[in-house]
Amino acid sequence: MNRNELIRALPKAELHVHIEGTFEPELMFAIAQRNQIEIPYKSVEEVKQAYNFHNLQSFLDIYYAGAAVLIYEQDFYDLAWAYFEKCAEDNVVHTEMFFDPQTHTDRGVAFATVINGLQRACDDAREKLNISSHLIMCFLRHLTEEAAFETLAQALPYKDQIIGVGLDSSEVGHPPEKFERVFAKAREAGFLIVAHAGEEGPAEYVWQALDLLKVNRIDHGVRSEEDSKLLERLIAEKMPLTVCPLSNLKLCVVDDMVQHNIQRLLQQGVHVTVNSDDPSYFGGYMNDNFFAIAEALDLSHAELKQLAQNSFEASFISDTEKQKWTEQIAALN
């Protein structure tokens, strides 16, 4: 098998994808029209031209504007279903997707509307596509601690449908410590914990995510490389980093894919995984991310298999499931 054939054939788990970031312009237009909502673009081409981000905030401004057309349960279903169809194409057999309840509840959409639409798509994906999934709810870090506590309270009746709690949105100036207390409460309630850290923010935010939020995984974490003590800790604890190469390129976290540190981190023993983050905005889904790093960094077959293997090990599926995927990966050449 050549390298791209191997990438396609590998079963993969996606651990870092924002469902609102899978919103393709065509679907955005269709939903805006049926909900009779004005969007500031005349065509799909105009939408794509607006995607000329140069940092996280310039992306987030457009991402939140796009999400504003989502109103009804069916909208959330359609959004997630379209993503599951991409998973099927890319042999992503398991996904743990983020959703941002506050992006919707702040516009008057009920928490139940969001979760019911997403859950129905997850159930259909399991039944019709044989793809398993978990939902992870993220707090928007540019909002207050109080708002995060309110969101946590809204989530409690849906505890069985939400496996974990995360932290996303504008990183710099909103350190993990701002949310220490609400994450303690989420942990007590039995949620697993993840947090974006070390994307644009410094290595110090990764320390805080570990020590104060007590995360099970770090989302991004690529700036951890700037702190050798932190790298030692990540390696010793086998702490997963959910790395998103095309996102890092599009948001100028790296200037060129050949400079991406995912291979260096992998070779040092950091538990890195490959993910798409916001694929409709950043130019590709799971396999596109693999193709991009494989080519730029000349990844070996063994490294690609290790990355796929890491994705299951770092996931929140059972040990039996992990074992099943490990065997399938090992059998590929």
Q: Which residues are catalytic?
A: 199
Member of 22, 168, 192, 273 binding ligand ADE (CB under 6 A): 168
User: Is 196 a known ligand-binding residue?
Assistant: yes
- By beta-carbon proximity to ligand ADE, the closer residue of 247 and 261 is 247
User: Is 288 a known ligand-binding residue?
Assistant: no
Dihedral sign (CA 231, 235, 237, 243): positive
- By beta-carbon proximity to ligand ADE, the closer residue of 102 and 169 is 169
CA gap 176, 210 in Å, rounded: 9
- By beta-carbon proximity to Zn ion, the closer residue of 178 and 196 is 196
Member of 86, 134, 196, 223 binding ligand ADE (CB under 6 A): 196
Contacts of 234 (CB under 8 A, 6+ apart): 206, 218, 221, 224, 241, 270, 271
- In the complex, the smallest distance separating the C-beta of residue 257 from ligand ADE, rounded to whole angstroms, is 17
Contacts of 148 (CB under 8 A, 6+ apart): 139, 179, 182
User: Is 16 a known ligand-binding residue?
Assistant: yes
DSSP string, 212-236: II--SEEEE-GGGGG-HHHHHHHHH
Containing H/E element for 62? helix 56-67
- In the complex, the smallest distance separating the C-beta of residue 329 from ligand ADE, rounded to whole angstroms, is 27
Member of 277, 281, 296, 304 binding Zn ion (CB under 5 A): 277
90 binds ligand ADE (CB under 6 A): no
| Tokens at 102, concatenated | 């506050």
Member of 22, 224, 247, 311 binding ligand ADE (CB under 6 A): 247
Report how many residues bind Zn ion under the rule CB under 5 A. 1
Alpha helices in 139-244 (DSSP H): 145-155, 180-188, 203-208, 228-237
CA gap 112, 57 in Å, rounded: 28
Question: Residues 15 to 44: which contact ligand ADE by CB under 6 A?
Answer: 18, 21
169 binds ligand ADE (CB under 6 A): yes
96 binds ligand ADE (CB under 6 A): no
- In the complex, the smallest distance separating the C-beta of residue 198 from ligand ADE, rounded to whole angstroms, is 11
CA gap 250, 27 in Å, rounded: 22
Site residues, ligand ADE (CB under 6 A): 18, 21, 56, 63, 168-169, 196, 199, 247, 277-278
